[in-house]
Amino acid sequence: MAPDMHRLADDLAAESAVLRVLLDDLDDAGWEAPTPAAGWAVRDQVSHLAHFDAAAVRSATDPDAFHADLAERAASGVDPDAIAAGYRHLAPAALLAWFDEARARLIAVFGDLDPGLRVPWYGPPMSAASSLTARIMETWAHGQDVADTVGVVREPTDRLRHVAHIGVRALPFSYLLRERPVPEVPVRVELVAPVGELWTWGPEDAADRVTGPALDFCLLVTQRRHRDDTALEVSGPVATEWLTIAQAFAGVPGEGRAPLTTP
């Protein structure tokens, strides 16, 4: 069955609302507070989302313009730090208004797209449904950085399934990004959802396995937590290697996060 774009759009709206609550209470100093992402303040997390929301809309509505922009950036690459620096002149109110506008436009456009429409991106091209799912993942991941900064623990929801799905599907991308051969050995992933349901990917009889809380897996594949800070259980050499490089987002290979706990 084809993905329901309106349902995906509703999930993105819900995830956006969670982030918006965190942003509503910030004063100017809060917008400039450093987040766990090295060199990034809260403002940079928000401008990143707004910038790539606009890029996603362009990829779906004007792919020629998207390709032209991509070609223009080809020499220097798509540098998230440089992009963030380019928006640091914006006042918090203007930045928040831009995020609201870009997010509303994204939801309106993508909700009516054919889920199978192929759209270009900074990694491999993907379907419109996958592109919208990726925006959910990005919102949740960057929202985690904001939540960590302001000291809020967010309630996990079943929307984590979108993040986990991208994390699993991105296994080949994680290897190709690092110019490593993609393993042919399958990996079984079994995750316990926030409500206790079991989410599974991969053959049931696979020797390489990843099991544990869905929240921990999502934190790991979005590189918001070190594996040592999760309750994931891993068996098999391929699964073990994969979790050292797992990356659910496009762009240059991420370095991940240092452990929060000490041995």
Residue type, 43: R
Place of tokens 């370095």: 255
Give the 3-state secondary structure of residue 154.
coil
Structural domain span for residue 106: 5-154
- Can you give the pTM of this predicted structure? 0.95
Count of domains forming the chain: 2
- 128 and 204 assigned to the same domain: no
Question: Over its length of 263 residues, how does the chain's per-residue pLDDT go in tens digits?
Answer: 678 999 999 999 999 999 999 999 899 999 999 999 999 999 999 999 999 999 999 999 999 999 988 887 766 667 889 999 999 999 999 999 999 999 999 999 999 999 999 999 987 899 999 999 999 999 999 999 999 999 999 999 999 999 999 999 999 999 999 999 999 999 999 999 999 999 999 999 999 999 999 999 999 999 999 999 999 999 999 999 999 999 999 877 877 888 886 55
- 207 and 139 assigned to the same domain: no
In-domain check, residue 85: yes
Question: In CATH, what number is assigned to the domain containing residue 104?
Answer: 1.20.120.450
Q: Which of 105, 131, 154 is the last residue of a domain?
A: 154
Q: How big is the chain, counted in residues?
A: 263
Give the 3-state secondary structure of residue 189.
strand
- 61 and 145 assigned to the same domain: yes
Residue 215 and residue 160: Cα distance in Å, rounded?
7
- 120 and 165 assigned to the same domain: no
Question: In CATH, what number is assigned to the domain containing residue 205?
Answer: 3.30.1050
- 235 and 108 assigned to the same domain: no
In-domain check, residue 120: yes
- 104 and 132 assigned to the same domain: yes
